[in-house]
Structures are given as C-alpha cells and as structure tokens.
C-alpha cells in the first residue's frame, strides 16, 4: 500500500504504444536489480559516439519515455546511443525505480549496478566513447539519476534531474514521502558529504548537473531543486550563488561555475508547471516531444536544452564528413596542449573541442590549446567542417595532462580547512578534498598542512611541503 502511494505521488503516466525501433536487450550482466533493458540506436551509428541513459517515471515504461520526451529525435540528429532501463512491477508495484532503498542506491549492487551493466553492454556493442556517457530521468527516474551520478561518477560525465530529488534524501518509504513533500532541508556540506560517501575512494571529477523543476509542483516540492543545486555545487567545489542569471525561452535559468570558469551546475524553474517534464511539440530546431499527462507543453523542450548543456549537438553538426582519425597529443607544457590528427578529404577546416566546448577552428591538422591550468587533465575531440559550414562526426577522445603542479600549501586547524574548502567533514570527521585522506576530528584543535598538488586536489603534507 505504501509503495503504491509512492508511485501515485511520483506520477501516473499514460502508456502509448512502444516505438517500433526500440529494442529490448537481454543478457547484459548479472542484473541484480532485475530490470529490463531497452535501447534506441540510430542506423549506422559509428563507434566513438556518446551514450545517454534515460530513466522513466512511475508506472511508465521505456516506450513511454523515448519519443515523448524527444530523446530519440536528438539521438538521430546528434548521433548517440540511447539506453532506456525499465522497472518491473515485481520490484515495485507502480514500476518506480527504488531510489529510496539502500540495496538499490548503492554502488555495486541492486538497480544501480543493473543500469551500469546496461552502459557496459552498449559500450561493448557499439564502441561508446567512455568519456561521453550521460544520465537523465523524470520524477522517480530523476531521483534514480541522482543515484547514478553519485554512485558512479567514474561512469557519467553529466546528469540531468527533472522533477526529482537529491541523492540519499531517503532510505525508507516514509522518509521518501517526506523528502518529496515538504522536502528535506540540509546544508550544502551535508548534501555534498552524502555524494562523497557513495564512493569514498573516488578522487576524480564528478558529473555536471542540470536541474529542472516546475514552480507549481505539489508532488515533489520545488525546494528539491534548491537542495539539488546545493548538493552538486558543493560536490563541484563551488557555492550555490549563481554566476549567470538569465532566461531561456522565458523561464528562469541559473548557471553555477567552478574556479576554472566551467559550467558545472545549472537550474531551470519552469514557471507555472506542475509535476512533469516540459516538452515543446513541433518540428522546429529546438522543439521536441508529445504533450500528455506529466509531459506538459510548456513551449520549451527540456531534452534539447539538457543536450546543449552536455554539448551533444556541438560534437556533431549533422555534416556528412567522417570523424578525423589519428588524434594524438604531440606536446604539453604547464599551460598548453598541442594536438595533431589526419586530414579528412573535403574538409575546409576543423573544430577542436576541450571537455565538450569548442576552443579552436584551425584550417590545418594541428592545434595548440593555451591558457590551461598546470597539472590538470583535459579531454579533446576534433570534427571536420565542410565548405558549407556543416560539422561532421567527432573523433575519438584523447586526454592530455598539463605538466607541473601548483604545490600550494595551507596550514590550519581542521575547522578552518573545511571552511576554506580544502577539506570536508562527515559525521564529525575531516577528510582532505580530492585525496580523501583522513585528518581527524572536526574541531579547532587539530592542525594539518595541506598541499594542493593539482587544482582542488589536496594531500596531507605535515612532514613538509615543497616551496
């Protein structure tokens, strides 16, 4: 009965006919969460392309969430594989993903592992670019998106939560209901600690996060958008004060940037929208979807703008030229990376992308990216541009790490180190950001020296720190 109530609160969805091109895949792993796997792969998709995982809401199926939200349109237009996990009634009476159960929200087990295994299977089948894997979902699927971003930050480059909840907001049905309405108000540090605790030994980058919520949502209260922004800005090492405040198609839009100026979190408040994911039916360049219950026509296509945030369209402009081959790093310095690649017949120029953002448009087959941070890893792809300006398929990704380290040292008590953003506390204990090395109790009396060996990465250096 209570699980049914969770399903009702998370939304009852219609069930249109399954798309003919949607295919079920079996034998994708041990599948401990007992989920079904569906995927949509555009005809002739080359290897080295991105992958998007899209998670449906309660009582909905994979077939209810592919065309209706626009994701299949963008898979065809931008060239990526689309995986649509599907819950089963035997696991949850209303086919909700079990985002509030410890067995399903933890790394290496349950539904979270089943979804990760679907990513692995598709990568094996189609040669997915492992550096361009993304996850999104609506309502219960949005809450499960938070789970995947927190539990598998090494798998996903970006995430988008629509009408969902922060990670680890609840570990029981009753707590889940309270998180949905009225909501749970924690500090950014407390929310961020929950994410860091999901994979304590992890020291790499976390996924970027796009958050969407209706201002009139009474099922999952809008305060959850605020809490999600606080959680993921803290994880990204920045604050919850927007660096950009503008409107997109008339709706309030906020962007939060890290210390290197990268857009790491964004939010959209859809004025007047109740519980659901906004669509904008039509054939226009930014339009998508089919309006229905919990898929309201709000004249904005969420999947389009989410894809833009992830730089999916920038990586393939629809041109016919093939992906450049032979992309290699030829040199690095403390502040630059030099690249070269093989020429593509018919190319008038090339576009070079760093971490999904265009940074150059050389006419030849080499490029040097400058103004970079020392001791930092960047990802690069290249695409050819024909004489009409159409951008072809992107190359496989290469990574380059600039030379040098910052080696800045900071001595202070544990309280001050946390306050300065060089360490974080969990359950009264303090850990260095990046390395997660243990520093003792969260107090004013225990003092340590932290060395910043690369931007945002700190190690305990009590025995001495380079000048």
Any residues with CB less than 8 A from the CB of 154 and at least 6 apart, and which? Answer: 199, 202, 204
Q: Are 112 and 104 in contact (CB under 8 A)?
A: yes
Q: Is the preceding omega at residue 366 within 30 degrees of 0, hence cis? A: no
Regarding predicted confidence, which is higher, 462 or 467? 462
pTM of the model: 0.68
* Angle (deg, nearest 10), helices 223-235 and 188-198: 60
- Any catalytic annotation for residue 47? no
**2 confidence band (pLDDT: 50, 70, 90):** very low
| pLDDT tops 60 at residue 13 | no
Place of tokens 């009582």: 59
Question: What is the H or E stretch that residue 118 is in?
Answer: helix 110-126
The token pair that represents 45 in the structure block: 């998709």
Interatomic CA distance for residues 329 and 327, integer angstroms: 7
Q: Are 131 and 379 in contact (CB under 8 A)?
A: yes
Tell me if residue 426 falls in helix, strand or coil: strand
Q: What is the mean pLDDT of residues 52-66?
A: 94
Tell me if residue 64 falls in helix, strand or coil: helix
Share of the chain above pLDDT 90, in %: 65
CA nearest 456: which of 234, 240, 259, 208?
259
Hey, which of 233-242, 283-292, 305-314, 423-432 has the most confident mean pLDDT?
233-242
**11 confidence band (pLDDT: 50, 70, 90):** very low
Q: What is the average pLDDT score of the chain?
A: 89
Regarding predicted confidence, which is higher, 315 or 86? 86
**288 confidence band (pLDDT: 50, 70, 90):** very high
Q: Is the domain defined by 2-315 classed in CATH 3.30.43.10?
A: no
Any residues with CB less than 8 A from the CB of 222 and at least 6 apart, and which? Answer: 213, 214, 215, 269
pLDDT in tens, 14-37: 233 233 389 999 999 999 999 999
pLDDT in tens, 246-257: 999 999 999 999
**298 confidence band (pLDDT: 50, 70, 90):** very high
Question: Would you list the domain boundaries of the chain?
Answer: 2-315, 328-401, 408-460
pLDDT in tens, 397-416: 888 888 876 567 889 999 88
Q: What is the mean pLDDT of residues 294-306?
A: 95
Interatomic CA distance for residues 134 and 208, integer angstroms: 9
Catalytic pick among 139, 184, 210, 303: 139
CA nearest 382: which of 415, 408, 356, 400?
356
| pLDDT tops 80 at residue 175 | yes
pLDDT in tens, 111-151: 999 999 999 999 999 999 998 999 999 999 999 999 999 99
pLDDT in tens, 322-331: 889 999 999 9
> What are residue 297's phi and psi, to 5 degrees?
-80, 100
| pLDDT tops 50 at residue 5 | no
Q: What is the mean pLDDT of residues 351-365?
A: 84
Interatomic CA distance for residues 180 and 171, integer angstroms: 13
Q: CATH says 328-401 is which class?
A: mainly beta
């Amino acid at each position: 009965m209570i699980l049914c109530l969770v399903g009702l609160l998370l939304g009852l969805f219609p069930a249109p006919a399954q798309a003919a091109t949607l295919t079920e895949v079996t034998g994708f792993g041990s599948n401990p969460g007992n989920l079904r796997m569906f995927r949509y792969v555009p005809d002739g998709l080359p290897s080295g392309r991105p992958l998007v995982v899209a998670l449906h809401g309660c009582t909905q199926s994979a077939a209810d969430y592919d065309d209706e939200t626009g994701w299949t349109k963008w898979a065809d237009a931008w060239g990526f594989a689309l995986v649509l996990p599907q819950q089963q009634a035997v696991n949850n009476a209303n086919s909700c993903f079990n985002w509030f159960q410890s067995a399903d929200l933890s790394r290496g087990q349950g539904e979270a592992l089943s979804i990760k295994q679907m990513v692995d299977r598709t990568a094996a089948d189609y040669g997915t670019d492992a550096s361009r894997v993304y996850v999104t979902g609506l309502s219960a699927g949005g809450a499960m998106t938070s789970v995947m971003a927190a539990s598998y930050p090494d798998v996903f480059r970006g995430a988008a939560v629509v009408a969902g909840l922060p990670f680890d907001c609840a570990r029981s049905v009753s707590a889940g209901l309270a998180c949905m309405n009225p909501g749970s108000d924690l500090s950014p540090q407390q929310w961020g600690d929950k994410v860091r605790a999901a994979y304590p030994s992890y020291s790499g980058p976390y996924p970027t996060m796009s958050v969407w919520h209706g201002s009139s949502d009474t099922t999952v209260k809008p305060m959850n958008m605020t809490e999600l922004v606080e959680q993921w800005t803290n994880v990204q090492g920045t604050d919850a004060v927007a660096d950009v405040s503008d409107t997109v198609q008339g709706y309030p839009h906020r962007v939060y940037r890290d210390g290197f100026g990268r857009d790491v979190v964004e939010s959209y408040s859809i004025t007047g929208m109740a519980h659901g994911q906004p669509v904008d039916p039509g054939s226009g360049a930014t339009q998508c979807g089919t309006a229905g219950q919990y898929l309201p026509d709000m004249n904005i296509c969420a999947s389009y703008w989410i894809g833009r945030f992830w730089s999916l369209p920038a990586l393939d402009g629809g041109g016919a030229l093939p992906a450049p081959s032979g992309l290699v790093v030829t040199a690095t310095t403390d502040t630059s990376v030099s690249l070269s690649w093989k020429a593509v017949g018919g190319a008038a120029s090339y576009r070079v992308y760093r971490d999904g953002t265009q940074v150059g448009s050389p006419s030849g087959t080499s490029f040097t990216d400058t103004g970079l941070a020392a001791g930092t890893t960047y990802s690069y792809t290249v695409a050819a541009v024909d004489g009409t300006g159409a951008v072809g398929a992107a190359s496989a990704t290469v990574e380059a790490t600039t030379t040098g380290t910052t080696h800045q040292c900071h001595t202070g008590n544990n309280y001050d180190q946390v306050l300065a953003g060089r360490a974080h506390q969990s359950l009264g204990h303090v850990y260095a950001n990046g390395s997660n090395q243990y520093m003792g109790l969260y107090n004013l009396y225990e003092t340590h020296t932290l060395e910043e060996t690369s931007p945002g990465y700190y190690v305990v250096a009590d025995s001495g720190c380079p000048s």
